[in-house]
Amino acid sequence: MSEVIRAVRRGDVPAVTEMFARVFMKGRAPSKSLLSSYFEDILFDSARDGTEPRSRVFVDREGVVRGFIGVWPRRMLLGGRIIEAAAAGSMMVDRPEDHPTAGARLLRAYLAGPQDLSFSETANGISQRMWERVGGERIPAASLDWLKVLRPAGFCVAAAGASFRPLRALRPLGSVIDRFASSAGFVALEETETRGSRDVAATTGEVLDAIQLLSGSYQLRPDWELPALPRLLAHAESKERYGELHRRVVYGRGDKPVACYLFHARRGDIARVLQVLAEPNAAGLAIDSLLRTAADLGCVGVRGRADPGLFDALVSRRCLLYHGAATVIHARDKSLLSEVQGARSLMTGLAGESWLRLIGGSFA
């Protein structure tokens, strides 16, 4: 039997589950059955019109599944016209030393799909180079993350504890140090000008309306009907390792939504931003509201993906910009590739693959 790349089948789910737990969760999946059920849901139950799943597996000569790439079809709008796109994520190869070409073959199989535009917002250095070898390109302005430290001692404890769990026992000491620093006048946040705005916790319906309204300023953006935005948000709710999902909308004069944001937070941890959308003149209001809310919840820092429209607001608030994962794109039509590179694009968070529970879920 020869090695093959083919569409994922229901019978592959146990092997994909085991591989994901080993590669991305370091074997720490409290409930393999819950993780397996989740793969069943995202790979098959959400397939459009009963069509074959677009995700692919690599099968070795013994007929064993040794590789996987998740492919999530979505419809995009570019300058008013419809673009069929597909986001990729969770590419993994079991025992890559025995199958050195499996990753490249999985990527080529995905890129050969029927979509007009292929993209990923989570490409690491190895994946980025693979994309570039087959004609893909990185979007530099969409490949930066941002970080704001709110409580320095607590942040150091949280960052160290993420790698070595016993260090989390130092959280009380970090809190004491940060309270002393605050009382001594060392504050992480400055007073901000609200300019007649107000920010409030939003219902799911309110934030869904705001997302659809505010994403209209992007030249390339999702058609929030395929897949349905409420479904994406429902998946994003369950990221236990990141904490509770908070949704807020910022209203300007006349009670018009001018910004909205979603982030996961847990007291004593670093908040994880899923999405920030804002009118061009309201980016500062959005970031101020986000940082203030995270601080009030007891977060020690905030991190997220840096949309180019937020750059000025982030830099002026002394946020650190750094390269984490790359946003990469590929299209057989090179004119489309050039058009996407020049457009203001919404391709991350709910628009990409970060809504998946595979990112941040514990499956306990």
pLDDT, one tens digit per residue, over 294-315 is 999 999 999 999 999 999 999 9
Same domain, 206 and 297: yes
CA distance to 41, 53, 58, per residue, from 10 (Å) = 10, 10, 14
Domain count, the chain: 2
- Report the C-alpha gap between 334 and 179 in whole angstroms: 55
Same domain, 226 and 286: yes
* Predicted local distance difference test score (pLDDT) of residue 154: 84
Same domain, 8 and 138: yes
* Predicted local distance difference test score (pLDDT) of residue 192: 64
CA distance to 82, 90, 212, 215, 226, per residue, from 76 (Å) = 6, 21, 13, 12, 9
Residue 108 pLDDT more than 70?
yes
Same domain, 132 and 195: no
- Domain range for residue 107? 4-142
- Report the C-alpha gap between 210 and 47 in whole angstroms: 27
Same domain, 12 and 104: yes
Helix (H) or strand (E) holding 107, with range, is helix 102-111
* Predicted local distance difference test score (pLDDT) of residue 349: 94
Burial of 255 (0-12, 13-18, 19+ CB in 10 A): exposed
* Predicted local distance difference test score (pLDDT) of residue 30: 62
Burial of 74 (0-12, 13-18, 19+ CB in 10 A): buried
* Predicted local distance difference test score (pLDDT) of residue 29: 56
Instruction: Return the closest-CA partner of residue 69 out of 23, 116, 125, 137.
Output: 23
**pLDDT band with cut points at 50, 70 and 90 for residue 27:** low
Tell me: the pLDDT tens digits for 335-358? Answer: 999 999 999 999 999 999 999 999
Mean pLDDT comparison of 9-13, 31-35, 191-195, highest-scoring range:
9-13
Residue 185 pLDDT more than 70?
no
For the ranges 22-31, 91-100, 271-280, 331-340, which has the lowest average pLDDT? Answer: 22-31
Last residue of a domain, one of 107, 142, 177: 142
Same domain, 307 and 248: yes
* Predicted local distance difference test score (pLDDT) of residue 345: 93
For the ranges 183-192, 209-218, 242-251, 304-313, which has the lowest average pLDDT? Answer: 183-192
Residue 47 pLDDT more than 60?
no
* Predicted local distance difference test score (pLDDT) of residue 80: 85
- Strand-pairing partners, residue 328, are 120, 138
* Predicted local distance difference test score (pLDDT) of residue 299: 96
